[in-house]
Structure 1
Amino acid sequence: MPSAYPVEGSGLGLRRAFLGPLADRPSDKVDFYEVAPENWIDIGGRNGRLFRQMTERYPFVCHGLSLNLGGPAPLDEAFLHRVRQFLDTHNIRCYSEHLSYCGDDAHLYDLLPIPFTEEAVDYVSERIQRAQDILGRRLAVENVSYYAAPGQQMTEIEFINAVLERADCQLLLDVNNIYVNSINHRYDPVEYLYALPAERIAYSHIAGHSEEAEDLRVDTHGADVIDPVWDLLDKAYARFGVFPTLLERDFNIPPLDTLLSEVETISQFQQRHAADAALPQHASA
């Protein structure tokens, strides 16, 4: 029976520094890889050849950085056509983006929050639908970390669920972002998690963050995953079943073997939940 997900198992964000080591010594701990298309569309030379070898060997997904779904500037449709060609060329299984905005007349190099309003739901949903039309495939949008909520008229969970429904798109479930936001905005992360629509999950991210104060976390992707975030992933698998999950690490990059150890931890959680799901269910008396 075909999987409901575009990929399976545990994944890792691919960095150019990993191309050589992984080409020389492919890892059996990684089931799929993720790249930002902006960083790879025009790659050529030796790295381009190595990347092509990787996409022919492993399933890949893409996580974009600059689509600017919530921004005031028109969608960059020329860029979307280039992304579609890249996805087709490398048989990319899924394309995801942040549910945020990052530019107007120029790129802002930051992910800024979309106001949680009905007007914003309509606006961003129309842009997602247009992007999906150009891409010829459904887009997955990520629940993002944010540090202010200007003009808020809805809760975060009401906003993201409304966008998912209105745009008829998929969800990139970022477990670390739920934890970070729950501290910064003082809500129950498990309650938020359980309110998400399981049928829209495409895959998931897990990552580390920094603790700036008792009531402030910053989503850096620059540290090891901490136990409360692992626990939230555990609860997600218990609630929704096992879904593909990828380790993000963008700063303070440790040796590749260290990252592969964290990827293996994801696999261990997945294997345990898969084994539990396979056990016969006995009816209670």
Structure 2
Amino acid sequence: MKLSGAGLGLRREMLPQLLPELPKEVDFWEVAPENWIPLGGRFQKQFAQCVAQQAFTTHGLSLSIGSTDPVDTNLVRDIKDFLNLHGIELYSEHLSYCSGNGHLYDLMPIPFTEEAVKHVSARIRQVQDILERPLVLENVSYYLAPDQQMSELEFIRAVLAESGCRMLLDVNNLYVNSINHQYDAYQFLQGLPSEKIVYGHIAGHYDEAEDLKVDTHGADVIEPVWDLLACAYELHGVFPTLLERDFNIPAIEVLLAEIARIKSLQATHAESVSKLG
């Protein structure tokens, strides 16, 4: 099924309150494939019940596309089998790395250099050859920029162009980075290639200080992030957008209220485009 509208991340602990019938207000769902591939029994049956009802996408955790370790081709093949088994088209991951002679248990920033562009792009092409579909990569939040020789935007554009991959636009990560690294988030949005954006994420974060935001996915979305999402629709057209909430997960009614707000923004922009047309 093709993604459209507003989505929500599916976690195993949410299944009792969601099944047997997924909420109609949610148009699509996202899972981390690593959390579902080894499962059987009850969870496997419940997941099959879910994918039969609505569209799904995936957002991986451990590909480590920027690492100097060899690509985990066994993982990539397992993910391909998972996608094919459940009729899921998209596999998204993070434009970062999480391994280096072992797992680092965090998303680390790739140096913004020409050498890194070539290194990452070669690894992306290797993954895409195995998957037989484009890899979709998310702009990540980062707190240090080691050996920076180009801007974050220049780096992302170069990787997209050289590798042929596509983009998951995380609007909250963009906001967090713009505060932490003092750049204009709206100029960043303007510089992105519209044709590469497949879908988006929106989430809440933690205010460590006025000039330090920490991406947590554990709070409500704030107004400046909603404003950025509206701007992204104006610049790039309406794209499917998923609400991320990984910690401090409230009742489903609270999540559905934010889902409704995503849909309202999408409808508003679609209506304005229709009037112009």
Per the normalisation by structure 1, the TM-score is: 0.95
Deviations 1:172-225 (A, max 9, x none): 000000000000000000000110000000100000000110100000001000
Q: 1:239 to 1:20 in 2, by over 3 A?
A: same
Gaps of 5+ in 1: none
Is 1:233 the counterpart of 2:229? The answer is yes
Gaps of 5+ in 2: none
Q: Distance in 1 between matches of 2:260 and 2:89?
A: 22
Q: 2:204 aligns with which of 200, 203, 208?
A: 208
Is 1:148 the counterpart of 2:144? The answer is yes
1:102-113 equivalences in 2 (<5 Å): 102-113=98-109
Q: 1:155 to 1:141 in 2, by over 3 A?
A: same
Aligned to 1:57: 53
Is 1:243 the counterpart of 2:239? The answer is yes
Is 1:86 the counterpart of 2:82? The answer is yes
Q: 1:162 aligns with which of 143, 158, 162?
A: 158
- Structure 1 runs (4+) deviating above 4 angstroms are none
Alpha-carbon deviation of 1:256?
1.4
Conserved 8 A contact 2:8-2:30? yes
Provide the secondary structure at the position in 2 that maps to 1:187.
coil
Provide the secondary structure at the position in 1 that maps to 2:127.
helix
Q: How large is the Cα RMSD of the aligned pairs?
A: 1.1
Q: 2:270 aligns with which of 274, 281, 285?
A: 274
Alpha-carbon deviation of 1:6?
4.5
Conserved 8 A contact 2:6-2:240? yes
Give, as a single letter, the amino acid of the residue that structure 2 aligns with 1:22: L
Is 1:35 the counterpart of 2:34? The answer is no
Is 1:255 the counterpart of 2:265? The answer is no
Deviations 1:1-45 (A, max 9, x none): xxxx94110000001122222213421110000000010111222
Q: Distance in 2 between matches of 1:80 and 1:280?
A: 44
Aligned to 2:20: 24
Q: Distance in 2 between matches of 1:190 and 1:11?
A: 24
Q: Distance in 1 between matches of 2:22 and 2:150?
A: 46
The alignment of Structure 1 onto Structure 2 pairs a total of residues equal to 277
1:114-153 equivalences in 2 (<5 Å): 114-153=110-149
Is 1:265 the counterpart of 2:266? The answer is no
Give, as a single letter, the amino acid of the residue that structure 1 aligns with 2:18: L
Q: 1:83 to 1:229 in 2, by over 3 A?
A: same
Conserved 8 A contact 1:12-1:30? yes
Deviations 1:100-126 (A, max 9, x none): 010022111100000000000000000
% identical aligned pairs:
57
Conserved 8 A contact 1:96-1:141? yes
Provide the secondary structure at the position in 1 that maps to 2:101.
coil
Provide the secondary structure at the position in 2 that maps to 1:172.
strand
